[in-house]
Every structure is written in structure tokens, then in C-alpha cells.
Amino acid sequence: MIPQIITIDGPAGAGKSTTARRVAEALGFVYIDTGAMYRAVTLAVLRQGIELTDAAVTRLVQTLNVELHHGPDGQHTFLNGEDVSLHIRSAAVTNAVSAVSALPGVRRALVEIQRRIGRQGGVVMDGRDIGSVVFPEADVKIYLVADVDERVRRRLAEVQLRGEQVSEAVIRHQIVERDRLDSSRADSPLVRPQGAIDVDTTCLTIDAQVQRILDIVGEHRTV
């Protein structure tokens, strides 16, 4: 049998979302981008001008409906019925998301949704704490890394493709700062999950990353 839950964790820009999406497609699985869920909550916090305390944001989260839908052109993120897929990639959201996702009440609410989706099986889920906290018992856990210069280069190419004018220095600062905050927070920091298999993507093409993970999944197949 093919493993039913595949987790992919790692720092910003390691290639998680593209790789996870392609692995899911190859296996006929659903891809769950948990970073998009934290981004949607962050967008709501910014729009409503909510104070960044655990109590205030936890209250807000309980009024939100965050959903991921899959269409022919990929995954879309909905916040209370509105497609916010583009809004959640803005610089304002990117700069605030680490602080919002460090709040325990936010994590509790989103982890519950992630577990509910994952228990249905046939998922590839990427994030920062999926193999360590959300599904520590997952069949296959991947820890995706790449050196920081390469991650900066990739993020820069990605934002330029969206037509944004951002300097390399700004992207580098965002990535280094997000790594620091995501790895040092008290609740569910980014760590290499126990039992995870390391995949360093610094010198790998997307095709090679996807193939490497499919090979690992194949090795875990049971009869």
C-alpha cells in the first residue's frame, strides 16, 4: 500500500510547495499547503487591525472560515468565502505571518483543521511542524532544506514572476528573519522531525526533488 500521509517540512524557500504539489499530483493525492492557512489568518488580522495578542487573535480565528480548494489551476485559499490566494502572498502578510503563527491559539485551531483533513488519507501536507506536531506518526516524513543563497535566488525569481519589484536584500532579510522567528518560537518551532528523511534541494532541479521524494515513498510502500 502507498503511504497515506506524507509530510514535508522545512524553511522558507526550500521548495516545499512546488515539490509537495507535484508529488501529490503524481500520487493522485491532495496537496495541503498549511502555510497558506496561517497566511489567511494573518490577512484577516491585518484587515481587521486586530491587536497581536493570543487572546485577541484566537477570538478572531474562531470567527473565520479558512478553506483550501483545488481547481485545475492549482490550490486556492478562501477566507470566509473570498478567494484570497493572491492577497496572502503580499509583502505585508509575509512580514507579519511569523508573529501571527507563533500564537498558540492560532496553532491549536489550524492544527485541528489539518488533522481532520489528513485523517482522510491520501495527502501531502507541507509546513513547519507537520512531521513533528501535526502528524508525528505519518508514514513518510521529509525535511526539505536548501542553502540560504539558493533560497533567496528562488524567492526572488518567484516574486519577479508575479511582476513585483523587490530587491535581493529585502528578500534575504525576509527569509533570514522568518527562519529565525519560525525556528525560535516556543510553540511548535521549525525543527527536523524525528524520523524524517533529509532532502537537500540546493543542487536539485524541481524534477529531481520530486523524483527523490517519490523514490522515498516507493521505498515505504507495503504489500
Residues within the interface to ligand DC (CB under 6 A): 12, 34-35, 38-39, 97-98, 101, 127-130, 178, 182
CA distance 38 to 41: 5
DSSP one-letter code for 52: S
Q: How far is the CB of 165 from ligand DC (least distance, A)?
A: 20
Smaller CB distance to ligand DC: residue 21 or 218?
Answer: 21
Q: How far is the CB of 38 from ligand DC (least distance, A)?
A: 4
Q: How far is the CB of 204 from ligand DC (least distance, A)?
A: 19
Smaller CB distance to ligand DC: residue 12 or 217?
Answer: 12
Q: How far is the CB of 145 from ligand DC (least distance, A)?
A: 14
Closest CA to 81 of 40, 122, 24: 40
Smaller CB distance to ligand DC: residue 38 or 143?
Answer: 38
Q: How far is CA 41 from CA 141, 164, 207, in A?
A: 26, 23, 32
Smaller CB distance to ligand DC: residue 147 or 219?
Answer: 147
DSSP code string of 151-184: HHHHHHHHHHHTT----HHHHHHHHHHHHHHHHH
Whether the CB-CB separation of 141 and 197 falls below 8 Å is answered with yes
The CA-to-CA distance between both ends of the chain, in Å, stands at 6
Q: How far is the CB of 17 from ligand DC (least distance, A)?
A: 7
Smaller CB distance to ligand DC: residue 88 or 204?
Answer: 88
